[in-house]
Chain A
Amino acid sequence: MKLALQNILHDRGRFSVTVLGVSFAVFLMVFQGSLLAGFLQAASRLIDASDADIWITARGVQAFEFGTALESRVREMAAGVPGVIETGRVCMAFAVYRTPVGKQQVVALVGADPNVGKRFPVPDRPESSDQMSPDAVLYDVSDRKQMEVETLPAEVEINRHRAIIEREIQGYGAFLGVPFLFTSYRNATRYMGFDSGEAMYILLRTDKSYPLSQVQQRLRQRLPEVDVLTQKEFAHKSRMYWTMKTGAGGAILTAAVLGFLIGLVVVSQTIYTNTVENIEEYATLKAMGAAQVFVARIVLTQALICGLLGSILGLLAVVPSIGYAKSLIPWISAPWWLPCTMVVPSLAMCSLASIVSVRSALAVEPGRVFRA
């Protein structure tokens, strides 16, 4: 297969353009893939952070950010269903936040009972080692600029109520373009003006000796006016809403597909030109007795070399770029497997791009070797 390598190296200019084309495509695919992965994670981050087995929501709630109030009896009725061992409450509402310097802006205020989950950002969790006031408010470090907090603790106002921002957390940055503020459930209902008995979400932990589906079924029978979803179901619903129904996921996915198509066209064009320019060599190979597989392998190898080098270059460029992008888009996420798996579509892209070229090389008549 030295011929394959030497043929592409012989025309270094064209080879460089092909590799750059592939690397651009890989860059775009991985970057857009990271946006999509981050978007999906962010869309259900708070749901995933809970330890609850079941979420009860008002009928038709599409995503965590759009909850509506449930009657207080729902929690009591749910608690009485066999298999439910613990209940917790979560609420979320948009609120007006006044910064320490007096500026106002909208924030998404989330309040939760301390038992909803170890990873759920709640200030007054009993097992927490931090000594923090139950009235404390937390925000994500990536939103520091928007919060305009110079030192902690800082006194601010939420819906004209005094609040104390005590700490910064990580991993729960703005997803809607509006910063999240986290506080206790009791505190949140006070800021939101809710009845303390009301909740937007009721989170249930179940006894593992009861099949989850069975508990869910019983809850549905007892509470037909609300939605009873497992944590996975609600997370999936939330992700689908943000990606599919808002069109945001579609836009990101389209850009990734465009990256693939650009790479496909660039590689296809270059490999085809290279094949046509060397068509006499393929005729000579066939006259020498080279089998069709041997000829096809040369063209395919050229495409795969371009694909592999382009992928490596694209990945080398995209990793630091995503690192930098994190400072601008906190929820972007490149799981380790994403760049690795992107090598597969990029090689598939190059193989696909070589099909026309392989056909040209295979179709050449070996008899043309005698033409001048």
Chain B
Amino acid sequence: MPNDFLAVEGASVSFGKAQARVCALRDVCLAFQPGTLSLVMGPSGSGKTTLLSLLGCLLSPDDGSVFVDGVAVNRLSEAERTVVRQKKISFIFQAFRLFHSLSALDNVALGLEIRDPAASRRREMARDLLLQLDLGDKLHQEPNALSPGEKQRVAIARALAGNPPILLADEPTASLDAEAGRNICQILRGQVDEQGRTVIVVSHDPRWERFADRTITLCDGRVEEEVAVP
């Protein structure tokens, strides 16, 4: 496991205390390699988001370990985990989570400011990312003026800022129509194939299955099924 690029080993997570205690993940072991797109599925409450939080260094397991690029991040301090997120991990959310007062360009530039404070041409780099995602005419629009599909593409551009090797996406197509959803699937698949990123998508959306390299199904906090897509 420590040799895997991204992995959880015997990870258990529970929330609450005493009788209200809920076990979200139980002894989960999973490994993710660079250049792969993994789809995590399962019913509500199965532990998908908790797994994403663990992999994203947002949460530490009660038991077990989480490895990012060979480092057991659960042993790191909060500040050190922040640096791991800054350098290696980006998130894409169902609700986009764009900064409402900033334009599309500034949203992406902010991602660069956080991940690469020394970068001198942040705005040009942000513009390039948005152009790559076909948002050249939306550079100066605020999120409220964008369609859901456009918002998600801006969010992806922001996630790609700083070139992180890991992308964690939580229901990235849940708020989108069919065409916009398919577009997002293609973009993320492209990041895997062209950039060799590790992409993990948590979704109920069956459209993802044909874009994924493997499908992991969680149920009651355990890995119920792990299927490699040929």
Contacts and interface: CB of A to CB of B under 8 A. Distances in A.
Interface string A278-322: 001100111111111010000000000000000000000000000
A9 interface: yes
Interface stretch (A90-98, A191-199, A364-372): A364-372
B7 interface: no
B52 A370 contact: yes
B44 to A, nearest CB: 11
Nearest to B88: A289
A10 interface: yes
Contacts of A9: 101
B116 to A, nearest CB: 10
Interface residues of A, number: 24
A10 B97 CA distance: 17
B94 interface: yes
Interface in A1-42: 2-3, 6-7, 9-10
- Interface extent on B, as a size class? 20 to 34
Nearest to A6: B101
Contacts of B170: 370
B96 to A, nearest CB: 10
Interface in A318-364: none
Nearest to B174: A372
Given A10-B101, A372-B94, A289 B114 contact: yes
A281 B115 CA distance: 16
Interface stretch (B25-33, B34-42, B53-61): B53-61
Interface of B: 49, 52-53, 56, 58-59, 79, 82-87, 89-91, 93-95, 97, 99-102, 106, 109-111, 114-115, 158, 170
Q: What are the 9 tightest A-B residue pairs by CB atom distance, in nearest-first order?
A: A289-B86, A6-B101, A10-B101, A289-B85, A367-B58, A284-B97, A370-B49, A290-B114, A7-B101
13 contacts: A2-B109, A7-B99, A7-B101, A10-B100, A280-B97, A281-B99, A287-B56, A289-B82, A289-B87, A290-B86, A294-B114, A366-B58, A367-B53
